[in-house]
Structure 1
């Protein structure tokens, strides 16, 4: 006892040894905190620099000795945004593994971050709560973004028979790394759930549709994502236009450009294309049943469009009505009329509702998501949700603007340390803490078994039977709502009669 006291007093006693794991490339040493081991910044592919720019990801170099894995890897090149600071470092293909201490053959959750395929990073999502609460291993990853990840160009297509899919190939490489290495971290490679939000949700749908991703995961979660892609010829033409703006007539010129020039030009996700990794457009594959028919969880937020409509704050009635009639027709204006009492936010709220209900922004939310869920349910067991808590903290709101259940609002409830560029630690009230606990449990149960369940909370029926969607609400008040009720909330009778709307028809 005296010896133990002296050791503690002099600081020579050591805490539990830092966790280590042996990957195919070498041994990594992580850190432990609050019952969770974290291994951060593990390379899953070689840096895609020099001649490897716009090439499939290559295997990472091996190392000798023990590599520290206690800090996140570089963010992939992207402009500064609400998703994080500017980055120009192409050495960015790293992933992170978080597990409960003493993990052994646990289910695995692989998460793809959002950001429109042009920004975002894995370090926005600390998976320790999901891992510890549910007894699962959480993997988050970086992938090439913007022009680095999704440039389609005839010159690149001529080189390899494909172009525009480098970010997807990175994600596939990470999934293959998981299959090869996750058992060393206490994970079960035969129990992998792939999930993501926004661009990560779209990516998840793309992997469902891609034959080369089959078998790399056994369940999938699509949060506020769609399956809509750009045809390859259109994406190639966009790539040619970008190359010309950069003064380049060929691929050699593009590869010689500094990363900063390409970051400056990476402003649009419209370059996402249909390429050999995705031999058919994901939307077509889903509609025809030609996809990996694994159990699915699919949903969106009640007010998705409010996130994208903040630029309309201060618009007048005349400007609002002009926008509606130039984008749709008088039927939309009659369903979303200007109210008798209005303020500086009225136009933004109305346009946000239209964007949500129609799926105008990439087919995300409202009737588009409802239709996607219905399509999936025709082929495989599917669970649908709508995040309906409308008074929580916004991520980057305009002062006075009510965020509602806007795009990305649900993330803080699943990843409480979610960092959307400016560190936030939302102060939830008791009802919001209950919602967060419910969601973490629902998601964890699905990751473990393919069936979402949260003790003491509403049962979550599969959509396939009665077309019920779980309305996620604070204070334990979540409840299944019907297809008809959800359709009435989003005016789906109108949008399904207007096939030009963003995928709702």
Structure 2
């Protein structure tokens, strides 16, 4: 080949390479506009500019609703108006108003009502531009009274799991859940759930701009976030907004009725000196209350007030009880993952010890008092009659003798954790045959504890312990203590991130097949629970799970609607 021919071929190859780069750049721009200061995405409301972190494109504090203040307080959220200039999405939005911080779990306590913001975490722009990625819409926990999205760093899920992760703030406590005659017009009451639904609609409109697939959205959450996930699976207003569901401690069963919510709401109105009438004057009074007054009536730092309901059956947003929906099949039959941690109760016990002055260990009297108080009173799932039969206290004390446990705290953990585990198992057995369903128990009892050291306290696999395995360095609110995972814990973290991502992609935490995590109620097989642990995770039978939590005993004690 002549020198001229070689030069011509090189020139042609150079032009072809340039055209490929230009085409790739055009494809990339469909998802992000690259700026020297950070990635940009063009949403229907306007352009946002984020930051790069840990290999992810991160967009923080994107408003998805108009501030719910003034006349918009206790109204369904209103979609955010468009903006013209580039919005700097480089810092989390304000935390929603809250007072009950549960020790170091949440906070700081504040009166912010302008708090309806969301955050987007996407793999680096090159990865995001190559395909439509599954979306994980994550709802934080906190009993629907506290918590905040800025506690959750989703960069590992985004980069390692190749997901677009959206985290969200929503109205809490009395600001987010209130039924009152003066306010109950149209859609009412479950404002926090409606906030989440508006954010899910934002995802439907805008997630493609971040590399996400609007037709593959997994809704998941922990604790109250798991309960709220169940509300979306049930709610007709969430139809078409989710394709899979993850319940992390765990699937909801019973929530307050409309009557209970209204009774508490009217009592709140009276306590606030606005009254319980249905007139516009009363509504105006309620909406004019200082936010600090509403928060004071919501509770204290360590406990809820008497007017709190959380999500309740309102007939429209939440049309029926969760247990009724599960039993009757009146829900979105999407693939589901449902699980708990092995020592759920140690979280609430940790909070109780945290607020003791001085912080002293639990005693045998604490254990006996708890059992006597709990099992001699009302047995209903939301503290309503009928009462437990005579002799129940003695049966529970005999089943959980103090001498069988290393400390009264561990006895309290067992007697408080096991009923919830058995209730969750009850709904596993109802839901498992109806949809593609996977059950698990997080069992790593070495999990770091983000509360300060307390006398003799053993956290084990406590409620919220598993969050840090999905969201690195999770430590609750600003007073919590972050901890690095050790080598074995990091390996379990990698496995959980992969399972969550595979589930988001396919509805199967394995990606495909039935190993290592068997489907709960696969045809021809026995119900199986996946035990997540170190050094290895293993499948255990439903019978083994039942035995470890004494479900044969509790099924005779508990009143579980089905």
Query: How high is the TM-score relative to the length of structure 1?
Result: 0.90
CA positional deviation for 1:35: 1.8
Task: Please identify, of 63-72 and 324-333, the stretch whose mean Cα deviation from structure 2 is larger.
Answer: 324-333
Other structure's SS at 1:309 match: helix
Other structure's SS at 2:182 match: helix
CA positional deviation for 1:271: 4.1
Other structure's SS at 2:61 match: strand
Contact 2:97 2:295 in 1 (8 A): yes
Q: How many residues align?
A: 477
CA positional deviation for 1:319: 4.2
- Distance (Å, rounded) in 2 between the aligned partners of 1:270 and 1:20: 40
Partner of 1:45: 65
- Distance (Å, rounded) in 2 between the aligned partners of 1:504 and 1:396: 35
Partner of 1:320: 367
Map residues 61-460 of structure 1 onto 2, 5 A cutoff.
61-79=81-99, 81=101, 82=104, 83-102=106-125, 103-104=128-129, 105-157=132-184, 159-160=185-186, 162-227=187-252, 228-249=254-275, 250-267=282-299, 268=304, 269-275=308-314, 276-310=316-350, 311=352, 314-328=361-375, 329=392, 330-339=394-403, 346-359=407-420, 366-396=421-451, 398-421=454-477, 422-453=479-510, 459-460=516-517
Partner of 1:6: none
Q: Which has the larger radius of gyration?
A: 2
Contact 1:304 1:407 in 2 (8 A): yes
Other structure's SS at 2:134 match: strand
Partner of 1:30: 50
Contact 1:308 1:352 in 2 (8 A): no
CA positional deviation for 1:504: 8.5
Query: How high is the TM-score relative to the length of structure 2?
Result: 0.81
Partner of 1:481: 540
- Distance (Å, rounded) in 2 between the aligned partners of 1:126 and 1:340: 40
CA positional deviation for 1:61: 1.8
CA positional deviation for 1:316: 3.6
Structure 1 residues 341 and 127: CA distance shift in structure 2, 3 A:
closer
Partner of 2:388: none
Q: 2:531 aligns with which of 448, 454, 471?
A: 471
- Distance (Å, rounded) in 1 between the aligned partners of 2:120 and 2:56: 10
Structure 1 residues 341 and 420: CA distance shift in structure 2, 3 A:
closer
- Distance (Å, rounded) in 2 between the aligned partners of 1:181 and 1:316: 54
Map residues 50-61 of structure 1 onto 2, 5 A cutoff.
50-61=70-81
1:270-326: CA deviation from partner (whole Å, max 9, x where unpaired): 343111111111221112111000000100000001111233764443442233133
Task: Please identify, of 234-243 and 138-147, the stretch whose mean Cα deviation from structure 2 is larger.
Answer: 234-243
Other structure's SS at 1:117 match: coil
Other structure's SS at 2:434 match: coil
Other structure's SS at 2:497 match: helix
Partner of 1:363: none
1:337-364: CA deviation from partner (whole Å, max 9, x where unpaired): 121786xxx33321221111112xxxxx
Task: Please identify, of 85-94 and 110-119, the stretch whose mean Cα deviation from structure 2 is larger.
Answer: 85-94
Other structure's SS at 2:165 match: strand
Contact 1:195 1:220 in 2 (8 A): yes
CA positional deviation for 1:428: 2.1
Q: Which runs of 5+ in 2 are unaligned?
A: 1-33, 276-281, 354-359, 376-391
- Distance (Å, rounded) in 1 between the aligned partners of 2:369 and 2:547: 25
